[in-house]
Structure 1
Amino acid sequence: MAKSIEPNIADLANGWLKSYNLDYKLEQESLNTETDKALSDYFTKNGGSGANRPDAKLLLKDKNLDHFPILIEYKGYKDKLVKLDASGKVENRTAKNESHFKNINSFAINGAVHYANALLHHTSYTDIIAIGMTGHKDESNNIQHEIGVYYVSKSNFGIGQKVGEFTDFSFLSEKHFDAFVEQVRTLSLSQAELDKIKEQREKEIDTSLVRLNNDIYQNEKGLGENDRVYLVAASIISTLGIPGKVSPLEKSDLKSSTEKGSTDGEIIVRKIEAFLGEKELPEQKKELILRTLKNTLSTDNINKVKNGESQLKRVFTKIVDDLGIYYKIGLTTDFTGKLFNEMYGWLGFSQDKLNDVVLTPSYIATLLAKLARVNKDSYVWDFATGSAGLLVAAMNEMLNDAKNTITSPEELAKKEAEIKAEQLLGLEILSSVYMLAILNMILMGDGSSNILNKDSLQDFDGKYGFGETDKKFPADAFILNPPYSAQGNGMNFVEKALGMMNKGYAAIIIQGSSGSGKAKAINHKILKKHTLLASIKMPIDLFIGKSSVQTHIYVFKVNEPHHQDEMVKFIDFSNDGYTRTNRKKSSNNLKDKDRAKERYEELISLVRFGKSKLTIFTENEYYENTIDPKNGDDWNQSIPVDTKPTLQDFKKTVGDYLAWEVSNLLKQQTGEGNNSGK
């Protein structure tokens, strides 16, 4: 049985490093102020206890001169190499989406991966090797050790992937390091694994945004709701940087000076100007962004220096520390939409106005994109863009399809650029919300070129807003969550958009009453030119805490008149597998209780292929029937309940009655026999 004597694991490891001629690099790297400061800042912000440095760190280069920080953590105990969660990933987050410091401080790999995320967050490094090593002395007083090697990268959202099995550090030597890097490069995650990691990271974003918004609301006076959104956008844009052209803004660059031209606001504005200039945005759009952000960044109060620091620097620091990791790892999500949605808790909207501005949950936005059959070659538009959450979801679907079908790196890069610049178009009439959409798409990699500040019903002629402005946007996919206060609950947007398309599909989420009479006349016009393929009843609590209306999703085939014999798929999706709560302090208000992801996939298959795809759903939740193309108020049908008795019902009733009669006769006979025997 092993003793609990703690051996000097560091001596063993450092002996290896010396034998591989790496000890000088170890000493040299300890002078690297960038990584030291990053680790210090990360631990200060995240409240970690104990040492705030890895036990060893190196900076190695491969044959292509790419730099790889190597972070090593030692634990001199048995069974303290790594703590994994139920899915086999390094468990560094609690159920409340907070740093799991018990694991980070107790397990070698968990600590090393945590350090690696600090570098992803606070430095320009995107590929880091995290190594954990533990050991104990056996009964013969010999050191028994274990090593774990993980790759932590922007490509795996910082979650960490195990590289392989190793018994010493020789893979770091000059002789073997290039081969090791090749092994790292072959690591990959399936789309399902990436989606799961992304979902977890998005929950972390929600938690961070709640904390950040509450902090600013409670402690930073004088900032309105729009100011908070613009400060987040300005801070993030200024820290993005463009390799070789624009350096990211660092917290240390803000000096909280009162000197004209050197205030924190002016420094941030200059950095944003440089960033937008390199992005080659249309001049009109660039000026609009700068003008809007300057209104917040240049105010006297936010730049006033108190105790050596401006309010702007203080808020900038909070934003970068709370959110920096998520956009640095390239997480493509409706960032500003999530922030604005979180702010609804502080806003005084009326119920009608709230219904108009409510954010579409990201998983519903993705569902709409899939129902509209979006792929890498689609041209997608949204006539009530809001924060651009639906376009972000569509863009992600398009980029994923491109990655899965294009094998040439050069062709893939070209296609990704085309998708972002040419294949998305959004319209938003409210100028403040329009700014959110532009900033959101910039954060997602700049798909903002054709986000237009126009009235889609009155001022839009179907053409590109920037670039080839005389050319029609060849839309073949339409997704929408309209303002419900509009005519027909927003069906007027649907009529306009579909009428400008020559082919394709559309998926809209809308108040259910639009299909049962509220938009009867508009629906009649739509069916003259387009086919209703499916009507999906959504959960009543889908927008819990934001809106209380019953919604439906309607799916259309474009430019094909609805035939009276066309079978429409009516699907009751009231049970989508999720349970929802509206607790502000909850770490997760959306929980998968009954195969939710599988239900969403089955829903997409049912709409596309029909009844043959029924697996989880029952036949009571799927119904096919015709609608009257000249009507427009029969879009929300459900499976009819047949109350007419059948012959079988009659036979059963008669049988039950005869059984009752026989039972009574037997009881009477038994009773008479007993009386006669007394």
Structure 2
Amino acid sequence: MKDWNLEDNVNDWVKSEFARIKQNNYTVESAMSDFLKDAIQKGVILKRLALEEAGETEKGKSWKPDFHLEIFADRKIPVLIENKLGINKLSATNGDKIKNDIKSVKNFAVNGAIHYAQCAIMSKKYTEAIAIGIAGNNANNVTIKVYYVFGATDETYKLIDTYTSLDFLESKKSFAEFYKAATLTEDEKHKILIDSQAKLQEYAKKLNKLMNNHAITAPQRVLYVSGMLLAMQDIADIKNGLTPDDLRGINLDNQRDGDTIVTQIENYLKLKEIPLDKLNLMMASFKEINKDTDRDKKTDLDPIIGKLLPDLASVNKQIFTYIYENIFLSIDSMSGHLDIMGEMYSEFLKYALGDGKEIGIVLTPPYVTKMMTQILEVDENSKVMDLATGSAGFLISSMEMMIEYAEKKYGKNTTKAIDKIKEIKKNQLLGVELNAEMFTLASTNMILRGDGSSNIRKGSSFNEPADLYREFNADKLLLNPPFSFKENGMPFILFGLENMKIGGKAAIIIQDSAGNGRGVESCKAILAKNQLLASIKMPIDLFIPMAGVQTSIYVIEHTGKSHDYKKQVKFIDFRNDGYKRTKRSLIELDNSMQRYNDIVEIYKNGVTADVSPTLWNLKQTIVMSVISKNGNDWNFDHYQKIDTKPTIKDFKKTIGDYLAWEVSNLLRQKNEDKSFVAALEKERIAELKLCFSAPNLKNYILTGEEKRVFEMFEKGEVKFEEFEIQKLFDVSPSKAYKMNDRNILIENGKTPYVSNQSQNNGYIGWSNLEPLNPSNVITLSDTWQSERTIFYQPTEFIGKSHLQVLKAYDKNFQKFELFFAISSFRKAILELNYDYGTKFNRDKIKITKIQLPAINNEIDFALMRALISAIQKLVIKDIVLFANKKIDSPR
């Protein structure tokens, strides 16, 4: 078959395909409706691609796709088709991303189609579109790629690779089937949420540095962002939102860049019909933007701005431009549950002098707020209240969930759905926030979502008029109260439950200590008129780096009557959510997206939940138990059954770690022996024999008694009993010199200097000062790292702060017996999960129970000594065998 030589040949082929499927409602180029044309043109301008620079001028073409259909889903899901001659012109990619530079958009079918779709979405006239790229050499060699586009960034389009023809455009029914396959799964939505959060944090980090470079204080930074984002919004049909080109650096009163921004914000809020008292409060915050006229003077461009501006510009314009290009243009592409202002605020605090902890502000991650709305089964008819609103993260997640249900029920963009969404935004969300800065963030967040912040109130939840709550009549309550408040914030949920309808449900994420005794007064009051349904233990590092606290989610139903103490409460262990959090990033380790979907299912159905057995052991994850009237037993830890008996593996680790440290210590002592060092450098592993004085394996044959004890232990025939640490050991802080480390440490000292670190047997160096603490003791940290900091100290030493010393009362506790106790101690506290916020202090160390071999409360020291001796021989034997194998084999 003869190859095509014109792009019109591809267009003719597409027309023939439309004829084949009997679809006559398509349009070409200039026949596009004014609505779609305006949307694409506005999007082009927003993306800063000038028509004369990027458009096709040949053959009378302008910046329009080759074909378009506007007949599906009441014209709210446009289908945009771009054709190119030649299979090699189908798409240009960078990895798995579709390139979006001008050249690629202009010359490749898929790139152009996705660009048109994203421009339409960026105009805010559409929320989704279908992009189709078609390229071919002849009628027998044509390739079609179909994408579902739901935003304007690299992360917001999805290849629907099961569709390789245009048949799905045959009818509204066939398109509806396609749409089901195209829309996002829960896992995809979760991934977009996490990706959006990561990208926003990246932008926020650079923006934070930019503002820091220009001496904008931490409290001002978040107000700059929220205010400038509002200034970028269109003011109804009266005036377009500001763009960087509107800031001209004019040095005249009321015309400076800051003045222009503040005036736009005020006009926008007035037309939004924000109540006057609220408007005045917000404007008082936003006037920080034009407070310093020096920031309106033209100056050199900061390197962070790069090529976004051509020449000199005011500080306000530079910041505005960065926000416009990197945040404003991406807002509609970010996951709906993302608390944009909260994420910015959190990032700014990481680099500020204050971190929000002083006032208890720790913002809940968006994937957790989403999970909590799902647990409460928020739907389109819910009335959701948050009495410690913060930056409105819970209200944002609730609103997204409510809209999703409305669109499922009535259909996307139908009149009923549109009316219901207006009702949701206007009358079904209530937030109260005392902190002025957070109130402004929450209001901005909701305005950016189209809510108008109509029901975000500034004030104390406890002092608002009773009529407010009675008229709102909430049936859902979501909370993350300030943990610096009394009882960790439990009075907030008590007050909220008292002011919601009977049958309503509440979920609060709060420090564990609130349900473990610190919030006992409120807990008892809650149990008087409500039912505790569930307690979900959350990851220990959930709020890192903002705070190191242990938290749980309590789910409560407002019944109006006392908790039924015969009914079991569901205690769920969600400490492993598949993520690891660091100061810099959120790292997925193990099926985190699936785990967040599963936890809702586990909450609903308990041990019968349909979840993967490879991810969950439901018998260990869920404990069903009744609670007491005491109000101090609301946490999973209270009911968790832990086997704290040490295992052979535990003993081997304790001994192996100690022997490894002994080797390094021996090498240090021999560091002046040049022949030894030379031999070590030649073959380090070979010197293990020298280190352990172990020329023959026969030294490691177990005695009869050692073998008997070892076999008894393996068969589970050893009887254990529990002993409190304080009954066995004196627990005291280590004795230390009141001196700086530099005055204590010396390179070739003889006295160990021991700290609370988790490596090198706790040693941080050496000193020639007199030791202050005895030998043959156990040391450990009194912070959250405790199980990794328990060490045996064979010699006298100098201590450091946060180090506790355990000295045995019974002289039978020598080296091997203490190795046994250390292994048991580590096992006992490994599952307790103390953190920096709830430290493993001396009082908690004292009451910790460890298991030791004993009969009638008499410790069997001989058994402990024989078992540890046997295990040490086995460990050394393994090392020597490994060394021999390593020596005998070539490198």
Q: What interval of TM-score do these two structures reach, taking the shorter chain for normalisation?
A: 0.7 to 0.9
Residue type at the aligned position of 2:525: K
Task: Indicate yes or no: 2:443 matched with 1:450.
Answer: no
Match of 1:58 in 2: 64
Matches of 2:375 and 2:124 in 1, distance apart?
40
Task: Indicate yes or no: 2:498 matched with 1:499.
Answer: yes
Q: Closer, same or farther in 2 for the Cα pair 1:250/1:66, shift >3 Å?
A: farther
Listed one character per residue, the Cα deviations across residues 570-593 of structure 1 (whole Å, up to 9, x for unaligned) are 1111122x1213152x5xx24161
Residue type at the aligned position of 1:292: S
Match of 1:321 in 2: 325
Matches of 2:166 and 2:534 in 1, distance apart?
58
Match of 2:514 in 1: 514
Residue type at the aligned position of 2:98: N
Matches of 1:122 and 1:134 in 2, distance apart?
28
Contact 1:241 1:248 in 2 (8 A): yes
Match of 1:398 in 2: 402
Deviation at 1:422, TM superposition (A): 1.4
Deviation at 1:234, TM superposition (A): 2.3
Matches of 2:598 and 2:171 in 1, distance apart?
42
Contact 2:43 2:121 in 1 (8 A): no
Matches of 2:41 and 2:183 in 1, distance apart?
38
Residue type at the aligned position of 1:611: V
Alignment of 1:124-143 (within 5 A): 130-136=131-137
**SS of equivalent residue, structure 2 residue 506:** strand
Matches of 1:447 and 1:607 in 2, distance apart?
34
Contact 1:450 1:464 in 2 (8 A): no
Matches of 2:393 and 2:547 in 1, distance apart?
17
Match of 1:109 in 2: 110
Q: Closer, same or farther in 2 for the Cα pair 1:206/1:58, shift >3 Å?
A: same
Match of 2:600 in 1: 604
Q: Closer, same or farther in 2 for the Cα pair 1:454/1:639, shift >3 Å?
A: same
Residue type at the aligned position of 1:293: F
Deviation at 1:513, TM superposition (A): 1.3
Alignment of 1:81-120 (within 5 A): 81=91, 91-92=97-98, 108-110=109-111, 112-114=113-115, 116-117=117-118, 120=121
Match of 1:485 in 2: 484
Matches of 2:78 and 2:414 in 1, distance apart?
23
1:212 is aligned, of 203, 207, 225, to 203
Task: Indicate yes or no: 2:240 matched with 1:239.
Answer: no
**SS of equivalent residue, structure 1 residue 314:** helix
Residue type at the aligned position of 1:593: D
Match of 2:157 in 1: 159
Deviation at 1:110, TM superposition (A): 3.9
- Tell which has more relative contact order, 1 or 2 (C-alpha 8 A, sep 6+): 1
Alignment of 1:279-428 (within 5 A): 279-306=272-299, 308-329=312-333, 331-332=335-336, 333-349=338-354, 352-353=357-358, 356-406=360-410, 409-428=414-433
Deviation at 1:640, TM superposition (A): 3.2
Q: Closer, same or farther in 2 for the Cα pair 1:655/1:412, shift >3 Å?
A: closer
Deviation at 1:416, TM superposition (A): 1.4
**SS of equivalent residue, structure 2 residue 518:** coil
Listed one character per residue, the Cα deviations across residues 530-581 of structure 1 (whole Å, up to 9, x for unaligned) are 11111111111112222111111111111231122121111111122x1213
**SS of equivalent residue, structure 2 residue 555:** strand
Residue type at the aligned position of 1:92: I
Match of 2:695 in 1: none
Contact 2:511 2:551 in 1 (8 A): yes
Match of 1:561 in 2: 562
Q: Closer, same or farther in 2 for the Cα pair 1:183/1:272, shift >3 Å?
A: farther
Deviation at 1:38, TM superposition (A): 5.2
Q: CA RMSD in A?
A: 4.6
**SS of equivalent residue, structure 1 residue 319:** helix
Alignment of 1:65-80 (within 5 A): 72=82, 74=84, 76-78=86-88, 80=90
What stretches of structure 1 of length at least 5 have no aligned partner? 44-50, 94-98, 172-176, 466-470, 645-651, 659-678
Listed one character per residue, the Cα deviations across residues 389-447 of structure 1 (whole Å, up to 9, x for unaligned) are 01111111222222222359333222212221212111211111111111111111115
Matches of 1:65 and 1:193 in 2, distance apart?
20
Residue type at the aligned position of 1:294: K
Residue type at the aligned position of 2:407: K
Q: Closer, same or farther in 2 for the Cα pair 1:259/1:654, shift >3 Å?
A: closer
Listed one character per residue, the Cα deviations across residues 273-330 of structure 1 (whole Å, up to 9, x for unaligned) are 3322332222222222223212223531222233652222222121111123333458
Contact 1:133 1:145 in 2 (8 A): yes
Q: Closer, same or farther in 2 for the Cα pair 1:42/1:569, shift >3 Å?
A: farther
Residue type at the aligned position of 1:591: E
Q: Closer, same or farther in 2 for the Cα pair 1:192/1:125, shift >3 Å?
A: closer
Matches of 2:246 and 2:508 in 1, distance apart?
46
Deviation at 1:338, TM superposition (A): 1.2
Q: What is the TM-score when the length of structure 1 is the normalising length?
A: 0.76
Aligned positions, number: 606
**SS of equivalent residue, structure 2 residue 461:** coil
**SS of equivalent residue, structure 1 residue 560:** coil
Percent identity for Structure 1 against Structure 2? 28
Q: Closer, same or farther in 2 for the Cα pair 1:218/1:362, shift >3 Å?
A: closer
Residue type at the aligned position of 1:472: E
**SS of equivalent residue, structure 1 residue 297:** coil
Q: Closer, same or farther in 2 for the Cα pair 1:320/1:194, shift >3 Å?
A: farther
What stretches of structure 2 of length at least 5 have no aligned partner? 17-25, 300-310, 646-710, 718-891
Deviation at 1:271, TM superposition (A): 2.7
Task: Indicate yes or no: 2:507 matched with 1:472.
Answer: no
Task: Indicate yes or no: 2:268 matched with 1:271.
Answer: no
Deviation at 1:339, TM superposition (A): 0.9
Residue type at the aligned position of 1:159: Y
Contact 1:91 1:110 in 2 (8 A): no
Q: Closer, same or farther in 2 for the Cα pair 1:200/1:121, shift >3 Å?
A: farther
Matches of 1:541 and 1:299 in 2, distance apart?
40
Matches of 2:435 and 2:524 in 1, distance apart?
29
Q: Closer, same or farther in 2 for the Cα pair 1:513/1:382, shift >3 Å?
A: same
**SS of equivalent residue, structure 2 residue 629:** coil
Matches of 2:187 and 2:106 in 1, distance apart?
25
Residue type at the aligned position of 1:226: P
Contact 1:83 1:107 in 2 (8 A): no
Matches of 1:627 and 1:657 in 2, distance apart?
33
Matches of 2:182 and 2:510 in 1, distance apart?
30
Match of 1:668 in 2: none
Residue type at the aligned position of 1:497: G
**SS of equivalent residue, structure 1 residue 231:** helix
Matches of 2:513 and 2:320 in 1, distance apart?
45
Matches of 2:56 and 2:146 in 1, distance apart?
14
Deviation at 1:180, TM superposition (A): 8.9
Matches of 1:200 and 1:600 in 2, distance apart?
11
The structure having more radius of gyration, on CA atoms, is 2
Match of 1:437 in 2: 442
Q: What is the TM-score when the length of structure 2 is the normalising length?
A: 0.59
Q: Closer, same or farther in 2 for the Cα pair 1:225/1:642, shift >3 Å?
A: closer
Deviation at 1:462, TM superposition (A): 3.7
Matches of 1:543 and 1:318 in 2, distance apart?
28
Matches of 1:228 and 1:200 in 2, distance apart?
29
Match of 2:811 in 1: none
Deviation at 1:154, TM superposition (A): 5.3
Contact 1:481 1:509 in 2 (8 A): yes
Matches of 1:451 and 1:9 in 2, distance apart?
59
